[in-house]
Structure 1
Amino acid sequence: MTDKAPAWVVPVMRAGYAARGAVYTVVGGLALLAALRGGQAEGTTDALADLRSVPWGVALLWAIAIGLIAYMVWRLIDAWMDLECHGTDGKGIIARVGQAVTGVIHGAIGVSVASTAMGSGGSGGDGAQTATQKLMSMPWGPWLVMAAGLVTIGAGIYYAHKGLTEKYKRDIRVTPLARKLDPVMKFGLVAEGVVVGIIGVSIFYAGMTVDPSEAGGVGTALDQIRSAAFGRILLGVVAVGLIGFAVENFIEAAYRIVPRRSGDDVMTLARRAKLKAEGKLNEVSS
């Protein structure tokens, strides 16, 4: 295959997913503590800033920052070279643009985490509001903000759909651990979809009301869940889901394949499920 992916994209990809897993471990863990003990859940940047007070915390922040920037590099190369074989039709182009956008977003978070490691990080919620305010000041600003909100809502729907339809199985190699944690990964993606969807709604509402203060990030979304009826229970469920999303990222870091690197013969969770449904599982190695 002349367009086979270069070998270096694999460790870059693994570093990126591991870093994202670390981020959601911290955010989900602190949200779970907030649900159990009461109090306010923290956004991504604020939650990671707490790591500065623990032994090796600054070193861990730098590792997460580098990993998130690696995730950006992976996603941009992934989209450019079409390493996951999405194709060049309309659906494929949308998928690849989405990969690039999520990569840039995580790269920006990585820069923010590096700033936090240096002791100059700000509030995650303020960051979302600042970005919304900058968009709002542009020509057609409120419309741009509402469009960004709709895109974010679409990303939330994508995560939830990916979990419910088990699309995540396509590129994960079959291992005993991956099979055992499959329900955790599914629940985690749905929970992430809920949180991202709420963030999108807040951004859309900020554009509709021309009020940047209405926009928020993960912390705002978790606070909105906390303020609902049975909020602490809901927050606890979502927090466990975010930890599940962290698990999903760690599994991807360990067992994810790059289709243009590994070829078509690798036994993935999706291929195994298809063979099992067709009654052909025993005919191949599982």
Structure 2
Amino acid sequence: MTNPTQADAAAALLAANRRRRSIRRWIAIGTLPLTLAALLLVGKLLSMYAFAHQSISSFVSGGYAESEAAARNLDVLNWFEPFKAPYDIGTALAGADELPQARTELERALPLAEGLEVCYVRINLSLVMERQGDAAQADGDAARAAQFYGEALQVTAETPEACSSPDAQDQSPDPNRDMSDTLDENQKRQQEKQQQSQQQDPDQSDQPDQDDEQEPQDEPSQSDLDEIEKKLNQGAQEREDQVDGDGDGQGGGTDKPW
């Protein structure tokens, strides 16, 4: 027979074991949300790098639709570097010449960018606006083109000076392109395009002078007609060169997105 002391000790041991199991169970229940959150965090980080790599590689190879689709996956639970999802989406849309949508996404990315991140967001946003100006110019809407070029120039001009620093170049998404030189070239080109569009005023050029209306006009000579035709052809060729670019996907002489 078991004496009372041994029975009490066994009962106490069983009770202690039950308490430990109960404590472990409640600890497991209490830490379950933290465990799930940790797993979700790891999954998000891994998927973020995977989708970012897919978006970049697709963009480089010209698969803009695939690049956009991968970038949109970054927009889900967009906790880390929140500017990157709309930036990548906008850049992919710009590559596909979906300019209004690209502009919307890049404008969404700009206030989310911090520090030197704003540099390449501003560069791509200004390039999209410039391309909108190229498209308007191709449609013969010089006033609308001048407005787009002015907006592009403003975005470029307001780019922080730090974007021309070596640190900014180190963070550039395209290390083969110098960020400082790109900003200078963009500003110069956009300013020239804006001025050219502003100078085109068909309403004014079609208006004859009042003094000329009061005097009979001589019939133009053949040489005068040839000179006029030469100037018209020259102007048309310049506008065509401005809109068509150099054949490498950079419409209107505009740089491609970064």
Bucket of the pairwise TM-score, normalised by the shorter protein: 0.3 to 0.5
Q: Name which one, 1 or 2, has greater alpha-carbon Rg.
A: 2
Q: Which has the higher contact order (CA 8 A, sep 6+)?
A: 1
TM-score (norm 1): 0.30
TM-score (norm 2): 0.33
